[in-house]
Structure 1
Amino acid sequence: MDVVASPNLFQRASETALYLRSTLPSALHHPKAAIVCGSGLGGLVDAIHPEPRIETAYANIPHFPESTVQGHAGKIVFGLMGPAKTPVVLIVGRIHFYEGHTMDLVTFATRVCKVMGVETIIVTNAAGGLNQDYSVGDIVCLNDHLNMAGLVGIHPLRGPNNEDFGVRFPPLSDAYDLDLRRRAHQAWKKLGLDKQKRRLHEGVYAFVAGPTYETRAECRMLHSLGADVVGMSTVPEIIVARHSGLRVLALSLVTNSAVLEAVPRGDDESIQSMTKDELEKHLSKGKANHEEVLEAGQEAAKDMQALVKQILSDLYV
Structure 2
Amino acid sequence: MLEQIRESINFIKSHTGIVPEAGIVLGTGLGGLVREIVTDCEIPYSSIPHFPVSTVEGHKGQLIFGTLGGKPIVAMQGRFHYYEGYSMQELTFPIRVMKLLGIKMLIVSNASGGLNPGFEVGDIMFITDHINLMGDNPLIGRNHTGLGPRFPDMSEAYDRRILDLAADIASRAGVPFRTGVYAAVTGPTFETPAEYRYIHILGADAVGMSTVPEVIVARHMDLPVFAVSVISDLGVPGKIVEVSHQIVIDAASKAEPRMTRIISDLLKEISF
TM-score by length of 1: 0.83
Q: Alpha-carbon deviations, 1:107-154, whole Å to 9, x = none?
A: 0110101110111000000000000101100011001111011xx3x1
Aligned partners of 1:135 and 1:105: how far apart in 2?
34
Given that 2:158 and 2:227 are in contact with CA atoms closer than 8 Å, whether structure 1 keeps it comes out as: yes
1:259 CA drift (Å): 4.0
Instruction: Note if contact 2:117-2:236 (Cα within 8 Å) is conserved in structure 1.
Output: no
Map 1:144-155 → 2, pairs under 5 A:
144-149=129-134, 152=135, 154-155=136-137
Q: Does residue 78 of the first structure (1) align with residue 40 of the second (2)?
A: no
Runs of 4+ in 1 over 4 A off after TM superposition: none
Query: Does the 8 A contact of 1:47 with 1:306 survive in 2?
Result: no
| Paired position in structure 2 for 1:165 | 147
> Using the alignment, how far apart are the partners of 1:10 and 1:140 within structure 2?
35
Q: What is residue 185 of structure 1 aligned with on the other side?
A: 167
On the 8 A contact 2:234/2:240 being kept in 1, the answer is no
Residue identity opposite 1:17 in structure 2: I
**CA distance in structure 2 between the partners assigned to 1:235 and 1:215 by the alignment:** 21
Give me the CA root mean square deviation.
1.4
Matches within 5 A, 1:1-317: 9-24=1-16, 26=17, 28=18, 30-50=19-39, 53-82=40-69, 85-149=70-134, 152=135, 154-193=136-175, 199-260=176-237, 286-316=241-271
**Corresponding residue SS for 2:28:** coil
Sequence identity percentage: 43
Query: Structure 2 length as normaliser, TM-score?
Result: 0.97
Contact 1:59 1:65 in 2 (8 A): yes
Q: Distance in 1 between matches of 2:240 and 2:87?
A: 34
Number of equivalenced pairs = 272
Are 2:81 and 2:210, in contact at CA under 8 Å, matched by a contact in 1?
A: yes
* In structure 2, C-alpha distance between the alignment counterparts of 1:289 and 1:209, rounded to whole Å: 16
- Distance in 1 between residues matched to 2:235 and 2:174, nearest whole Å: 29
Kindly state the Cα deviation for residue 13 of structure 1 after the two structures are TM-superposed. 1.2
Cα separation, 1, equivalents of 2:248 and 2:6: 35
SS of the residue corresponding to residue 145 of structure 1 reads: strand
Q: Please report how far the alpha carbon of residue 312 of structure 1 lies from its aligned counterpart in structure 2 after TM superposition.
A: 0.7
Q: What's the secondary structure of 2:127's corresponding residue? A: strand
**AA partner of residue 204 (structure 1):** V
C-alpha deviation, 1:316, in angstroms: 4.1
User: What's the offset of the Cα at 1:15?
Assistant: 1.3
- TM-superposed CA distance for 1:190, in Å, is 2.3
1:47, distance to aligned residue in structure 2 (A): 2.1
Whole-angstrom distance in 1 between the partners of 2:29 and 2:118 = 23
Find the residue that maps to 1:157 and give its secondary structure. coil
Q: Which amino acid aligns with 1:147?
A: N
Deviation of residue 192 (structure 1)?
A: 2.4
- Mapped to 1, the partners of 2:168 and 2:35 lie a distance apart of 22
CA distance in 2 between counterparts of 1:228 and 1:285 reads: 15
Distance in 1, matches of 2:119 and 2:5, equals: 38
- Cα deviation digits, residues 11-31 of structure 1 (max 9, x gap): 21121111111101x3x1x20
The answer (yes or no) to whether the contact 1:217–1:260 under 8 Å persists in 2 is no
Could you tell me which amino acid in structure 1 is paired with residue 48 of structure 2? I
